[in-house]
């Protein structure tokens, strides 16, 4: 969430910077809401002053034995209007302002290249040599199915399209990748491993910026049951929309499956004040991720590239504002290390203003080479959100003067496990249909050097 004081002081400047990322800030709406707020707060202050003066008059009049009926009637009237303004009118305007701010994306950092789409992203570097094959290259679907370890039909029977089922050595390779990533980030990069909930509340989703903007991309979860105490504690009774009758089942208002571990891990510091000496906080988590992929139909329908459920090892850093860009480069390097150790060719690109995520001020994408597509595909995004998420979460630290100040938050995939598996299958494929196991993964695979058909 943007600082409202910045909007008040430089509305045109903020609008111009947001326009660079393709977002049109409704300045008229903001000015209208601000005018309403100012009018109400001015009237509230006038009423408070008048009530205080009238109360003083009552005391003075009573001391003189004068009739105070008219003054008391005025105080009562002032009190009624004041109560309405303070308990209803002003909260509604402030709520409208908060809702307005919640829909505004982050302002791009000054160093972010200006552009409209991924075509305008800037390549930073390429690492590793693209492999050359003396045989016809297969994609990961053909390779995995040929090995007997990748089954989309059974996954669809069990659940739906865009789910996958792994078995045998491929399932073990998937597990090995996650363990290898966790070990590397905890033992070499200084992250603290965390195990976090996969289902979170709406406050957590709002804190990292998934709500309210991207609700249609999330999977919601309802818990059924009947409990009068639950209703008192904020649950609501489910109503049959066709009849208007209550069914008797009680459901909590909003729960969500996590789209990324960024949500629960970053929210660890929501409503917290972190001691200065504890910064930076560095966490890593391996979780499944759940995404509806709304609006992406027709894209990457074959294989494991775009799934409703996938695993990811996520890196999160909570840092001092003065060091956040230094730490972003560090975090990016940590994610790159995994690809280097796996011997996978990749490139790093800096996203332009029109291709960045909602909450990001700066984002690097790491794209791994996929031979079957003859191109690089995203395998990690590493972002600095500056104070955008922290302001939504009220995540702070005590600065050198002992005063609370917003932290900066960063995260990045270190890496997406399924896409890393895809890259290994395609880059390490052999003419006979087998797949070599990267050397660093062999200890996690019981010494296995290649995967052959089951």
Determine which one of 74, 145, 378, 405 is catalytic. Answer: 378
314 carries a ligand binding annotation: yes
The answer to whether 359 is annotated as binding is no
| 293 marked as part of a ligand binding site | yes
* CA distance linking residue 409 with residue 383, whole number of Å: 9
The reply to whether 413 sits in an annotated binding site is yes
336 is in an annotated binding site: no
Question: Is residue 206 annotated as part of the catalytic site, yes or no?
Answer: no
Concerning whether 381 is annotated as a catalytic residue, the answer is yes
Catalytic residue among 367, 381, 391, 396: 381
- Told to judge if 302 belongs to the known catalytic residues of this protein, a careful annotator would answer no
Q: Is 37 a catalytic residue?
A: no
362-370/375-384 β-pairing: antiparallel
Q: Which of 15, 7, 13, 20 lies closest to 112, judged by CA? A: 20
User: Does 442 count as an annotated binding residue?
Assistant: no
Is 291 a known ligand-binding residue?
A: yes
Query: What span, in angstroms and rounded, lies between the C-alpha atoms of 181 and 196?
Result: 17
Place of tokens 């029977």: 157
Active site residue: 162, 391, 396, 419, which one?
A: 419
List 21, 291, 391, 392, catalytic entry: 291
Residue 291 designated active-site: yes
- Binding site annotation covers 380? yes
Reduced 3-state DSSP string for the chain: CCCHHHHHHCHHHHHHHHHCCCCCCCHHHHHHHHHHHHHHHHHHHHHHHHHHHHHHHHHHHHHCCCCCHHHHHHHHHHHHHHHHHHHHHHHHHHHHHHHHHHCCCCCCCCCCCCCCCHHHCEEEEEECCCCCCCCCCCCHHHHHHHCCCEEHHHHHHHCCCCCCEECCHHHHHHHHHHHHHHHHHHHCCCCEEECCCCEEEHHHHHHHCCCCCCHHHCCECCCCCCCHHHHHCCCEEEECCCCCCEEEEEECCCEEECCCCHHHHHHHHCCCEECHHHCCEEEEEEEEEECCCCCCCCCCCCCCCCCCEEEEEEEEEEECHHHHHHHHHHHHHHHHHHHHHHCCCEEEEECCHHHCCCCCCEEEEEEEEECCCCEEEEEEEEEECCCHHHHHHCCEEECCCCCEEECEEEEEEEEEHHHHHHHHHHHCECCCCCEECCHHHHHHHCCCCEECCC
43 is in an annotated binding site: no
Active site residues: 291, 306, 378, 381, 419
Binding residues for L-serine: 260-262, 291, 314, 411, 413
Binding residues for ATP: 291-293, 378-381
Binding residues: 260-262, 291-293, 314, 378-381, 411, 413
């Amino acid at each position: 969430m943007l600082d409202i004081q910045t909007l008040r002081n430089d509305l045109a400047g903020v609008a111009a910077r947001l326009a660079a990322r393709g977002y049109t800030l409704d300045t008229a709406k903001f000015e209208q809401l601000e005018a309403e707020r100012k009018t109400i707060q001015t009237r509230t202050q006038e009423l408070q002053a008048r009530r205080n003066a009238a109360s003083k008059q009552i005391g003075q009049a009573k001391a003189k034995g004068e009739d105070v009926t008219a003054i008391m009637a005025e105080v009562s009237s002032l009190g009624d209007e004041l109560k309405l303004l303070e308990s209803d009118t002003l909260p509604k305007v402030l709520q409208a302002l908060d809702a307005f701010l919640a829909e505004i994306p982050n302002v791009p950092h000054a160093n972010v290249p200006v552009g409209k789409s991924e075509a305008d992203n800037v390549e930073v570097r390429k690492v590793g040599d693209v492999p050359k094959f003396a045989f016809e290259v297969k994609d990961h679907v053909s390779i995995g199915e040929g090995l007997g370890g990748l089954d989309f039909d059974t996954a669809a029977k069990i659940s739906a399209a865009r789910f996958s089922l792994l078995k045998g050595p491929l399932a073990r390779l998937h597990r090995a990748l996650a363990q290898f990533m966790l070990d590397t980030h905890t033992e070499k990069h200084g992250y603290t491993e965390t195990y976090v909930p996969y289902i979170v509340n709406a406050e957590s989703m709002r804190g990292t910026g998934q709500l309210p903007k991207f609700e249609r991309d999330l999977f919601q979860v309802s818990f059924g049951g009947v409990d009068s105490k639950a209703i008192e504690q904020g649950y609501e009774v489910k109503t049959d929309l066709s009849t208007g009758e209550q069914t008797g089942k009680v459901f909590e208002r909003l729960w969500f499956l996590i789209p990324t571990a960024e949500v629960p891990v970053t929210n660890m510091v929501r409503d917290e004040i972190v001691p200065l000496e504890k910064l930076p906080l560095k966490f890593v988590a391996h979780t499944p991720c759940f995404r509806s992929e709304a609006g992406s139909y027709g894209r990457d329908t074959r294989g494991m590239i775009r799934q409703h459920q996938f695993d990811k090892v996520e890196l999160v850093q909570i840092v001092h504002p003065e060091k956040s860009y230094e730490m972003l480069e560090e975090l990016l390097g940590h994610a790159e290390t995994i690809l280097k150790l796996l011997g996978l060719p990749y490139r790093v690109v800096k996203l332009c203003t029109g291709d960045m995520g909602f909450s990001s001020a700066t984002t690097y994408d790491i794209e791994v080479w996929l031979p079957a597509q003859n191109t690089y595909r995203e395998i990690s995004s590493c972002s600095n959100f500056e104070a955008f998420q922290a302001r939504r979460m009220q995540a702070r630290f005590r600065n050198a003067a002992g005063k609370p100040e917003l932290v900066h938050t960063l995260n990045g995939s270190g890496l997406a496990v399924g896409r890393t598996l895809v890259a290994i299958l395609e880059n390490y494929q052999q003419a006979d249909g087998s797949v070599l196991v990267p050397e660093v993964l062999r200890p996690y695979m019981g010494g296995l050097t290649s995967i052959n058909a089951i």
